[in-house]
Amino acid sequence: MREVNNFIAGCFQPSQSGRTFDKRSPINNQVIATIAEADRSDVDQAVAAARAALKGEWGQLSADQRVAMLYEVADEITRRFDDFVEAEMADTGQPEHVMKHVFIPRGAANFKIFADVIKNVASESFRMATPDGLGALNYSLRVPKGVIGVISPWNAPFMLMTWKVGPALACGNTVVVKPSEETPLTAALLGEVMNKVGVPAGVYNVVNGFGPDSAGAFVTEHPEVDAITFTGETRTGTAIMKAAAEGTRDVSFEMGGKNAGIIFADCDFDKAVDGIFRSAFLNTGQVCLGTERLYVERPIFDKFVSALKAKAEAVKYGSPLDHATNFGPLISREHQQKVLSYYKKAEQEGATVVTGGGIPDMPPELAEGNWVQPTIWTGLADDAAVCTEEIFGPCCHIRPFDSESEVVALANNTNYGLATTIWTTNLSRAHRLAEQVEVGITWINSWFLRDLRTPFGGSKQSGIGREGGVHSLEFYTETRNVCIKL
């Protein structure tokens, strides 16, 4: 049985209250770790440590020295690659190949990507005229914003946590991380890495716990936390924004989505089916960028539904260590019950259940896990709950359409605006729709393909701000102007 303590000022320590909570495996719901739950005094200590590091050794390092240290962090993650893979599998229950080829490599890469960004970013300078004819020179400086509160999610915990920690540290900030209570293991491992490579104590801190009246609220309400970055559901983001209003602190949010997939009859059919299968069912549908609403042009509607059904029915459930497994459990029993409630609601609203809709038969050693079937519906009205509310599970509703204008209206008929994927071989059409669909990111004939230098974020209720490349620097730094009279 693992014991996971908070990581504060370079040391692992239990909660000052002595409170703990259990971490259960998604594959069988057995307790696999005991986690120290940070109380307010623990968070106070973590924030104080972050503030001291900001004013101390970390704050004295040059950008080149920080860059070199972040490269060492990435290299040490790679050296301990198997440890991170094992911890992430234990936390999420997802297949080993997903961890080895997507989430853990990206987590390590985030440190090098943002180290390179800060090393190569340019500053502005302007020569201006003055009445005496001698002029003045203006130039800009980027300085760290301060202590950053990082509230990270459970669906891709290491990748999404380092997506925030990487740029925060590259810019010279310090962080207090509150990982999801469902996935605390890799955040703790990263503390070991920080110590190993000599990152000064207090630069990276981890406090474990829940949201309201626990570590999450204690971090976001703390007056010495200068800015808050959050990935998670929209309701939680709203609560965090209210807390951040005290002291007018800056926020960066990537929140919910009810993303559309648009498939035209002229698409490369096999590639479209494969791409939509990934976008609907990767990580058991627990992907903020996933597609729970599919719109298929009428001439290929029946063929597409049949092909996607066949792929959904061919998934292999099982232990994440089994190389044949390509479909894992949901993160928790609570989330399983939420997803199953939508499965039931879809039937009550009159959906045609193309496939799935329940819990698969599992062997005895896995029967208590948080399993659900990949599920496809047709036949619902556009205002049905499963067509408008984010489910965050392996499911999608498929609806036919007849024209570009119709499908654009359907895709935009949502409170969210995170992402969409469009499948067509007509390049002119692709450009037209990409401009009209109200989302932060549009994929054409692909999904989940990203250059990490590009802007990432959502519109409407899907988020505030942009992350990625130099766009992250807008949040993690303050820009100052210096004016020199010549």
Q: What are the pLDDT digits (tens) for 372-410?
A: 999 999 999 999 999 999 999 999 999 999 999 999 999
Strands (DSSP E) along 255-393, which ranges?
259-263, 291-297, 352-355, 375-378
Q: Among all residues, which ones are annotated catalytic?
A: 254, 288
**Taking CA 363 as the corner, what is the angle to CA 362 and CA 364, rounded to the nearest 5 degrees?**
115
| Structure tokens belonging to residue 331 | 């993160």
- 8 Å CB contact between 93 and 182: no
Nearest to 429 by CA among 450, 412, 408, 448: 408
Range scoring the smallest mean pLDDT among 190-194, 259-263, 419-423, 463-467: 463-467
Q: Is the pLDDT of residue 177 over 90?
A: yes
Strand pairing report for 20-24 and 31-36: antiparallel
- In the predicted structure, residue 269 carries a pLDDT above the cut 90: yes
What lies within 8 Å, CB to CB, of 431 at 6+ separation is: none
Strands 419-423 and 259-263: parallel
Residues 288 and 213 reside in one and the same domain: no
For residue 456, being part of any structural domain is answered with no
Same domain, 331 and 192: no
Whether residue 36 is predicted with pLDDT greater than 90 in this model: the reply is yes
Residues 108 and 191 in one domain: yes
pLDDT of 182 reads 98
My answer on whether 226 and 185 are in the same domain is yes
CATH, residue 401: 3.40.309.10
Pair (163, 79) in one structural domain: yes
Pairing of strands 250-254, 227-231: parallel
**Residue 342 has what pLDDT?**
98
| Domain match, 189 and 292 both | no
- The whole-number pLDDT of residue 99 equals 95
Q: Is 284 left (phi over 0), alpha (psi -120 to 50) or beta?
A: left
Both 177 and 215 in one domain: the answer is yes
17 is a domain residue: yes
Residue 290 lies in a domain: yes
Least confident range from 23-37, 114-128, 424-438: namely 114-128
Q: Do 259 and 291 contact (CB within 8 A), yes or no? A: yes
**Cα(477)–Cα(465) distance, rounded to whole angstroms?**
13
Quick one: which H or E segment has residue 483? strand 477-485
Same domain assignment for residues 170 and 231: yes
pLDDT in tens, 122-155: 889 999 999 999 999 999 999 999 999 999 999 9
Cα gap 68→395, rounded to integer Å = 43
Same domain? For 416 and 389 the reply is yes
In this predicted structure, the answer to whether residue 281 has a pLDDT above a threshold of 90 is yes
**348 falls within a domain:** yes
- Report how many domains make up the chain: 2
Q: What is the pLDDT of residue 37?
A: 98
The CATH number for 113's domain is: 3.40.605.10
Q: Within a domain: residue 457? A: no
Q: Are strands 20-24 and 11-13 parallel, antiparallel or unpaired?
A: unpaired
Residue 107 lies in a domain: yes
Q: What percent of the chain has pLDDT over 90?
A: 98
Using DSSP, how many helices (H) and how many strands (E) does the chain show? 17, 23
Among candidate residues 391, 407, 444, the one with its CA nearest the CA of residue 256: 391
* pLDDT value, residue 1: 82
- Residue 52 domain boundaries: 2-255+462-485
- At residue 327, the pLDDT reads 97
**Are both 48 and 166 inside the same structural domain?**
yes
| Same domain as 437, residue 318 | yes
Residues 62 and 177 in one domain: yes
Task: Note the pLDDT of residue 64.
Answer: 95
What is the tens place of the pLDDT at every residue in 319-339? 999 999 999 999 999 999 999
